[in-house]
Structure 1
């Protein structure tokens, strides 16, 4: 995962967990009941529900990254300024 998460990243992770946890719990119950294929598959789905949104780049991420790079080049921070 990323070293530091912003507010929107944290909210997105929480939303993913709201949907992934019931799937994971149901998968664990199926696994413990002896239905290994169904239970294991549901656990994989639950894990992917949490991991994929963190790793994939969405169309909304591209303009944010471009704007961040442009602002970083155009605006000097006090540390970057020469005396």
Structure 2
């Protein structure tokens, strides 16, 4: 599925937070601290999953803007199909 620029920026911001948490969890796993390691890795995976699959109130303006732009601005493909 194609991503819009706002979705890509949102994913990048989430990964900036999730990657260090995941690495911290991996360090705990390597040291043998399974509970703490799995908890931190789970938090990192959860951050990314929530960002991908949960629609939050801050996502709604971006969704409305993308749909509006898609209807107002016609692409070259849609112009040639109408002729």
Give the number of equivalent residue pairs: 77
Unaligned runs of 5+ in 2: 72-77
Structure of higher RCO (CA pairs closer than 8 Å, 6+ residues apart): 2
RMSD: 2.6
Unaligned runs of 5+ in 1: none
Q: Stretches of 4+ moved more than 3 A in 1? A: 60-65
Question: 5 Å matches for 1:57-68?
Answer: 57-62=55-60, 64=63, 68=67
TM-score normalised by length of structure 2: 0.72
Q: Which has the higher helix share?
A: 2
